[in-house]
């Protein structure tokens, strides 16, 4: 549901001063291709290899059942129904391996969220919604999918160190197509492993080597911020990404860790 469209995320100047701000507003027919980058351009698997080396075994995350239900009730019937459905899914995943949790959370939000740009949903050029805000609207763009899946996976017990919200340049429409900013979620099963990519442009989870239409710029999660291909941290993500800081506050109030 809505998995074949791009979004309207803008590269933050506080993290990437050299990046040209841009907006993703591709129409449904313009799907990302798996063979769109020219020969010689670095693939996402190569660029993210340095980041993957940083991945460690983080502590399992949980969620506050009562806080989530109270927050969802305050956001309306659709948010409450979505929260109850998510909690039921999380309960069913108890004892499942990480791969099964990844697939289940990815499918849950792909089916419940219809793509729509922030200008339509929020009346703003770039708004980062919390998971319950997105469930309340039933609509969102790339970062809303990514944020919802990130927190859903943390609630399912996936360690934070296994996940990265990744700013990328996505090439749309085949070789020589338009290159625009976008956001995806990367999952690392083990340190140094090839990441798997969760993306609203493609409904299924694919290894990074099959997503050559994506060129990573920088990544972050609740614990760190990384830029380029190196292993050096680029600072505190909450301090350098104001929208991420705001999302973290909202998500915690909604019962997500």
Question: CA angle 80-9-167, nearest 5°?
Answer: 100
Which domain does 79 fall in, by range? Answer: 44-253
133 neighbors 141 (Cβ within 8 angstroms): no
Per-residue pLDDT of 30-71, as tens digits, reads 443 333 333 334 444 444 444 444 444 334 457 999 999 999
Cβ-based neighbours of 222, under 8 Å, separated by 6 or more: 154, 160, 237, 248
199 neighbors 211 (Cβ within 8 angstroms): yes
The tokens describing 30, both together, are 């313009």
Rounded CA-CA distance 146/80 in Å is: 20
Predicted confidence at residue 201, as pLDDT, reads 87
Rounded CA-CA distance 121/8 in Å is: 12
Residue 8 lies in a domain: no
Predicted confidence at residue 193, as pLDDT, reads 83
Strand duo 202-207 + 139-140: pairing: unpaired
Bridge partners for 227 per DSSP:
218
Rounded CA-CA distance 233/221 in Å is: 12
**Angle subtended by helix axes 142-155 and 98-112, to nearest 10:** 140
Residue 246 burial (CB count, 10 A): 14
The CATH number of whichever domain residue 107 belongs to comes to 3.10.620.30
- State what percent of residues in the chain have pLDDT above 90: 59
Domain tally, the chain: 1
Total residue count of the chain as it appears in this document: 257
Question: CA angle 122-167-21, nearest 5°?
Answer: 65
Cβ-based neighbours of 91, under 8 Å, separated by 6 or more: none
pTM, full prediction: 0.81
Predicted confidence at residue 257, as pLDDT, reads 82
Residue 27 lies in a domain: no
Residue 36 lies in a domain: no
Residue 2 lies in a domain: no
Rounded CA-CA distance 135/83 in Å is: 8
Per-residue pLDDT of 65-103, as tens digits, reads 999 999 999 999 999 999 999 999 999 999 999 999 999
Residue 207 lies in a domain: yes
Residue 219 lies in a domain: yes
The tokens describing 208, both together, are 């990074």
Residue 32 lies in a domain: no
Residue 12 lies in a domain: no
Of 139-148, 189-198, 211-220, which has the strongest mean pLDDT? 139-148
């Amino acid at each position: 549901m809505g998995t074949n469209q791009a979004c309207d995320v803008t590269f933050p100047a506080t993290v990437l001063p050299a990046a040209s701000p841009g907006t993703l507003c591709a129409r449904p027919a313009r799907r990302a291709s798996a063979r769109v980058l020219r020969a010689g351009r670095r693939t996402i698997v190569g660029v993210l290899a340095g980041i993957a080396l940083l991945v460690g075994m983080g502590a399992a995350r949980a969620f506050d059942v009562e806080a989530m239900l109270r927050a969802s009730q305050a956001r309306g019937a659709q948010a409450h129904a979505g929260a109850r459905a998510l909690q039921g899914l999380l309960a069913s995943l108890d004892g499942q391996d990480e791969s099964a949790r990844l697939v289940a959370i990815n499918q849950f939000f792909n089916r419940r969220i219809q793509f729509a740009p922030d200008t339509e949903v929020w009346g703003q050029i770039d708004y980062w919604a919390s998971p319950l805000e997105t469930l309340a609207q039933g609509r969102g763009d790339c970062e809303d999918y990514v944020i919802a899946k990130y927190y859903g996976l943390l609630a399912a017990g996936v360690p934070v160190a296994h996940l990265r919200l990744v700013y990328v340049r996505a090439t749309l429409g085949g070789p020589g197509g338009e290159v625009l900013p976008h956001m995806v979620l990367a999952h690392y099963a083990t340190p140094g492993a090839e990441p798997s990519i969760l993306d609203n442009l493609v409904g299924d989870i694919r290894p990074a080597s099959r997503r050559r239409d994506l060129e990573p710029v920088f990544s972050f999660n609740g614990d760190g911020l990384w830029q380029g291909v190196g292993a050096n941290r680029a600072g505190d993500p909450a301090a350098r990404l104001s929208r991420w800081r705001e999302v973290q506050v909202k998500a915690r109030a909604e019962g997500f860790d």
